[in-house]
Structure 1
Amino acid sequence: MTETAPVVKVKMTHREILTALTGILMGMFVSILANTVVSSSLPVIVSDLHGSQTSYTWVVTATLLATTISTPIWGKLADLGNRKLLLQISLAIFVLASAAAGFSQDTAFLISMRVIQGLAGGGVGALAQIVMADFLSPRERGKYMGLFGAVMAIGTVGGPLIGGFVTDTINWRWNFFIALPFAIAAVILIQRTLHLPAVAKRKVKIDYWGIVLLSGGVSLLLIWMSLGGSEFEWASTTSFLMVLGAIVLIASFIIVEIKSSEPLLNMSLFKNRTFTFAVIASLAVGVSMFGTSVFLSQYMIMARGASATMAGLMTFPLMGGLLVISTIGGAIISRTGKWKALVVTGSVLIVIGLFLLGTIHYDTNYAVVASFMFILGAGMGLVMQNMVLVVQNSVDIKELGVASSSVNFFRTLGGTAGTAGLGAILAATIPDMIADRQADLMQAIGSLGEKGKAVAEVLSSGNLPTVSTLPEPVRVIFESIYGDAVPSLFTFAAPLSLLVVVAVCLIPNQSLTTQNASERLQEVEAEAAVLGASSTGTSNNAEREAETMEAVAAHSATSQSAQKSADS
């Protein structure tokens, strides 16, 4: 009988876990900081580069689109190669592209650099969560959510504040250089502190057709959503061809993935009920998470006349709700092992928060707006990361990378589609609202005398005006226009967020495992070894049994022959 060596479970100490998390946390901080540092100053940046409302939307959408496309690719590479090296590479590319964006002379170059930044950002976001699963079990992870909450707090709250201060006092270009020293520190820390178990080497096969078809299909769909209604009519030949092309490319992608031996996105994952409903919830969460954060900053600057620095401060309640409640929720999950009630509560808070934000105006008391933002942030904090947690808990360990990155992929896809779609609605709505107030505008401009001509030229250029610099009669009109236009986007997004509630309620209430990914993989390999040994033993027994039967048959035949000879 063949003996199989027992599975050795090496539990890391609290100190070892903290050491391993150091580099990952720094990498996440860099990723968050590089994105949030420009959020509060984006209206100023686009205005300075003579961009339009569509340009404003695409500076954000381009990054999200590239992140969406690259996330499943990084996830697949994580299942095939060196996760630590991939994390370092994605981090380096991310920050270099961010630094290059600081030299932009027009919105086209800025958008191009944001695309590269997004391609690498998909790796930073997905790989950080995949790597954590290698040494932290789903149940354990709640204990360390406080650390992630602190890092996210510094990045999400400090980023807009730093960016606004730099924009107001120095120049917005320096926002893109801030993350560079932190990135260098992150790469070094990851190299020195992160020690992952060796992954068995195997032949790598990249699904190139899958990458091309997914990129083409998603890009075409989101470009249609972004430009529809402004660059071409929704009911037009151009619109029809773009939608048809997107459908054909995405359908082709699904067919290729079903037939591929190493698919970019394993379609069999959708047989897993937890994965399927987590994907649906993540799509809807993406709309509320990215759409609100992008347009809330624009609301603060364009509708309330805030500076870039003040816009960062004024959107703090959204991130504050996310960070505080996600930390508390993580601790509860770690202590009790129960997650579903918290996630369902979070999904309901998202719906309530969006509906409430849809009721605000340019002159709504800020304390009321802040409370609405906190409710929405609290809901996102309870839902967002826990979708990855429950999926990692339920899928086959060998599909961990693809499954984790797929949840991120669909969340970012929802955010990209939401930002593009809501941005297109805003781009089409603002000109109509300005036209409706044309008489008031003409009267306000006329009251300015000679200064009115310069204001009229700025407004007729089609570029985003810097509202805070406009003369008061004109400024009040524009604040009221944006104060009604931006909240209408939240009213539009609120019914979509009901999908989150339905999807979360349908996810099976599966208990969280106390094993990390490495331990689960060891167990799977040990079981495979036992089955292999058992199969070999059964095969040997069968061979011996067959040989015995053959010998008995031969002996019987010989005996019968001898008996016949004797009888004759």
Structure 2
Amino acid sequence: MSDPKKTGGGTAAVADRPAGIPETPQRSVRVVMLALMITMLLAMLDNLIVGTAMPTIVGDLGGLEHLSWVVTAYTLATAASTPIWGKLGDMYGRKGIFLTSIVIFLIGSVLSGMAQDMGQLIGFRAVQGLGAGGLMVGVMAIIGDLVPPRERGKYQGMMAGVMAVAMIGGPLVGGTITDHLGWRWSFYINLPLGAVALAMVTIVLHLPKRKGTQAEVDYLGAGLLTLGITAIVLVTTWGGTEYDWNSAVIMELIAIGVASLVGFVFVETKAAEPIIPLHIFRNRNFTLMSVVGFMSGFVMFGAVLFLPLYQQSVQGASATNSGLLLLPMLLSMIVVSLVAGRVTTSTGKYKIFPVVGSALMVTGLFLLSRMDVDTTRFTSGVYMAVLGAGMGFLMQITMLVAQNSVEMKDMGVASSATTLFRTLGSSFGVAIMGALFTGRVQDEMVARGGGAATAKSAQLDAASLAKLPEAAREAYQFAVSSGTHIAFLVGASVGLIALAASVFVKEVPLRGAGPVTQQAEAV
């Protein structure tokens, strides 16, 4: 019998490699991972860069009344197509479907950059979002195919780093491109990155070709799921902003969403190849990780929205460096994610991480809810670091446990379902925390007589804020700090649900066990 120590870690990959998937040399895996990280960067950077360019876009194309649809169309298309991309990858082969999603994303980017009016831009952003729905799912599913769960922790820090680079660099890159090259290049910038990713994936990634299944795609299920997701995203996007929460439009959307999802569940029980096989939810760990993913998405995107707003409005920070304001949270997230990944790889243990991560997330949000007009930047930075540590424990562990809980044939739908729950969580988080924030700001402004500044001025930067009369400025700063208090307090309450779910996770051995276990099994 060969000495497992001489295998250099490759044994784990072979032990759990499904039939038909060849062993991939470690060097090739690293090259493929580089291509996948570039693709992740494409998906994460887009909205951040475009968001910075939006004022210039509106000034050039007009159509201010349709501004929100530039983001909404992209978000809707991404969320609705996510589970479909995952299922198509399972049915027809991961590589071809992934390359197709990249090409569609790049086509949407080119068309968006060529848009001549706001209507065209909204339509082309939907095309771009359609491709984006397959980017993250493809990345996660391909990693699931290539790297056993036990070995995947080695790459967690890389994925956390990509997220941090996107959040910090997105606004800075977007502002620089818009100022020096014009807003159209905020879309064209995707082309060189996408071309590199396409070339590297095409040349280096080798996965077995799958024969198309004889069963037809579950078109009815896909349609019902798309309709349900669309209704949910529109409710969270429009509720409290475009329409009152109790308005007829919101009530109708809620009814459509509920009816569609109930119909979807019924159809999935009958379909030969369901878009999301319901049997994966019979696995306790998968269901619990879906809950944790939803709650962490709820919290994280709410924090990313309100922390820069608080630091700009209350602490007087510059809006230009808004990405840098999140540095304590992002650095903490990267370091913790890297450590958690290494420990998971070396020990195979992971249950402690979602429990500790959820607890730190709740603690960090509670601390952030205590910020007021006198809180220093150092203190808020410490609070953000606590929250970042919690997110670092949770960010990749949720996907890791979810993928480890399903068979290899369901890797795509497991990845897409987990991504979808996190996306929907972010939509709910931004909507609910945003509504509570706006309501509290309005109430405090009325109570303190700050009539010179309204809730609409919640987007004031430090320079504009300085032009307000002193009384109005102080009232506004107090109102914003009060608004962030209630928003983060709600986030902490939601985090308790994630903590409760994490406690019930069962420690199931990760596929790709260590050499000693493999040797015993072989004997």
Matches within 5 A, 1:208-223: 208-223=219-234
Deviation per CA, 1:168-191, whole angstroms, max 9, x where unpaired?
Answer: 666555433333211111111111
Aligned to 1:492: 490
Q: CA deviation at 1:375?
A: 1.5
Q: Which moved more, 1:27-36 or 1:146-155?
A: 146-155
Aligned to 1:24: 36
Deviation per CA, 1:433-479, whole angstroms, max 9, x where unpaired?
Answer: 44444x4445x9xxxxxxxxxxxxxx799895555235533483444
1:482 and 2:480 aligned: yes
Matches within 5 A, 1:147-546: 147-166=158-177, 174-203=185-214, 205-437=216-448, 439-442=449-452, 468-474=463-469, 476-477=473-474, 478-514=476-512
Amino acid at match of 1:35: N
Amino acid at match of 1:472: K
Amino acid at match of 1:244: A
Aligned to 2:88: 77
Q: 1:40 to 1:346 in 2, by over 3 A?
A: farther
Q: CA deviation at 1:65?
A: 3.6
Give the alignment's TM-score, normalised by structure 2. 0.83
Give yes or no for contact 1:362–1:484 (8 Å, CA) kept in 2: no
Deviation per CA, 1:378-400, whole angstroms, max 9, x where unpaired?
Answer: 21121121111112112122212
| SS of residue matched to 2:511 | coil
Give the alignment's TM-score, normalised by structure 1. 0.77
Q: CA deviation at 1:363?
A: 4.7
Q: CA deviation at 1:509?
A: 0.7
How many aligned positions are there? Answer: 493
Q: Which runs of 5+ in 2 are unaligned?
A: 1-17, 515-523
Give yes or no for contact 2:93–2:210 (8 Å, CA) kept in 1: yes
| SS of residue matched to 2:131 | helix
1:15 and 2:12 aligned: no
Aligned to 1:125: 136
Which structure carries more relative contact order (alpha carbon 8 Å, separation 6+)? 1
Q: Which moved more, 1:264-273 or 1:200-209?
A: 200-209
Quick one: distance in 2 between partners of 1:433 and 1:104? 42
| SS of residue matched to 1:71 | helix
How many percent identity over aligned positions?
Answer: 35
Amino acid at match of 1:19: V
Quick one: distance in 2 between partners of 1:306 and 1:416? 27
Quick one: distance in 1 between partners of 2:510 and 2:305? 34
Quick one: distance in 2 between partners of 1:246 and 1:462? 33
2:46 to 34, 37, 40: 34
Deviation per CA, 1:49-68, whole angstroms, max 9, x where unpaired?
Answer: 7858x966x66555444322
Quick one: distance in 2 between partners of 1:168 and 1:360? 34
Q: Which moved more, 1:271-280 or 1:192-201?
A: 192-201
Give yes or no for contact 2:215–2:272 (8 Å, CA) kept in 1: no
Deviation per CA, 1:216-265, whole angstroms, max 9, x where unpaired?
Answer: 22222332333334444434554443322222111111111111111111
| SS of residue matched to 1:37 | helix
Q: CA deviation at 1:499?
A: 1.1
Aligned to 2:5: none
Give yes or no for contact 2:48–2:171 (8 Å, CA) kept in 1: yes
Give yes or no for contact 1:226–1:423 (8 Å, CA) kept in 2: no
Q: Which runs of 5+ in 1 are unaligned?
A: 1-5, 445-458, 517-568
Q: CA deviation at 1:192?
A: 1.2
| SS of residue matched to 2:189 | coil
Give yes or no for contact 2:47–2:71 (8 Å, CA) kept in 1: no
Q: CA deviation at 1:367?
A: 1.2
Give yes or no for contact 1:168–1:308 (8 Å, CA) kept in 2: no
Aligned to 1:519: none
Quick one: distance in 1 between partners of 2:266 and 2:354? 34
Give yes or no for contact 1:64–1:416 (8 Å, CA) kept in 2: no
Quick one: distance in 1 between partners of 2:119 and 2:509? 49
